[in-house]
């Protein structure tokens, strides 16, 4: 049996990609950022998510809030949606469009990796950012790359020392800066 305190999550992967210090601070100081409007919207707008996904002609069945787990990586998460039966499409929905979204792609690929190992072959990863959609093929290469990233995240979180990073402009608006060794 596993518990959320023993696993890494796609959220950790997303935050690590944005800034490696965030998941380290969150785990080592046992803190979490207060829920944002976008997080609340994503949880509450289930009907809007379903409506948005209908235009993509995803293969049925379409399931929401799918619990996924990979015992080898000790990684778990709850995907926004998974479509299909034998070849899956994993979906991550964000309320707002962003110019920079590599960290969201990393989170989505972590869900794809979980889906691949928990449910079966995963062929597509779909990221909805506001009204824009981005799709990627899920390949052996992307799954291997994501597995390596997940292992780096675990290593970082379990380290007693914070990961080395350089301050940059995004630090000014970071909620975690109050606990950051770089700030």
Q: Per-residue DSSP letters for 78-112?
A: EEEEEE-SSSEEEEEEESS--S--HHHHHHHHHHH
* pLDDT reported for residue 2: 61
End-to-end CA distance of the chain: 38
Are 110 and 144 a contacting pair, CB within 8 Å?
A: no
Q: What is the pLDDT of residues 144-158, one digit of tens each?
A: 999 999 999 999 999
**pLDDT at site 130:** 81
Whole-number Å distance between alpha carbons of 108 and 102: 10
Mean pLDDT of 97-106: 92
Do 8 and 151 form a contact (C-beta atoms < 8 A)? no
- pLDDT averaged over every residue in the chain: 91
Is the per-residue pLDDT at 43 higher than 80? no
pLDDT above 70 (res 182): yes
Strand partners, 137: 124
Of 28, 23, 19, 21, the closest CA to residue 8 belongs to 23
| Average pLDDT rounded to a whole number, residues 41-62 | 77
pLDDT of 46? 59
Structural domains of the chain ordered from first start: 4-179 (3.90.320.10)
pLDDT at 93: 87
Question: Is residue 14 over pLDDT 90?
Answer: yes
Name which residue leads in pLDDT, 14 or 98: 14
pLDDT of residue 96: 78
What's the CA gap between 123 and 159, in Å, rounded? 34
**43-57, 151-165, 166-180: range with lowest mean pLDDT:** 43-57
Q: Which has the higher per-residue pLDDT, 67 or 51?
A: 67
CB 97 within 8 A of CB 115: no
Q: Is the pLDDT of residue 115 over 70?
A: yes
Residue 41 has pLDDT above 90, yes or no: no
pLDDT tens per residue across span 75-85: 999 999 999 99
């Amino acid at each position: 049996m596993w518990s959320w305190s023993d696993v890494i999550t796609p959220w950790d992967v997303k935050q690590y990609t944005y800034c490696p210090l965030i998941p380290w601070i969150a785990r080592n100081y046992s803190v979490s950022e207060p829920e944002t409007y976008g997080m609340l919207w994503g949880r509450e707008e289930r009907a809007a998510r379903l409506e948005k996904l209908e235009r993509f002609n995803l293969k049925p069945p379409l399931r929401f809030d799918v619990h996924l787990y990979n015992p080898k990586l000790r990684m778990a998460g709850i995907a926004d949606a998974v479509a299909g039966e034998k070849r899956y499409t994993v979906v991550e929905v964000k309320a707002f469009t962003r110019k920079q979204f590599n960290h969201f792609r990393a989170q989505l690929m972590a869900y794809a990796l979980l889906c691949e190992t928990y449910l079966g072959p995963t062929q597509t990863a779909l990221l909805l950012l506001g009204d824009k959609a981005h799709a990627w093929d899920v390949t052996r290469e992307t799954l291997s790359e994501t597995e390596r990233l997940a292992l780096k995240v675990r290593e970082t979180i379990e380290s007693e020392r914070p990961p080395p990073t350089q301050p940059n402009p995004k630090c000014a608006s970071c909620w975690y800066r109050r606990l950051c060794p770089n700030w």
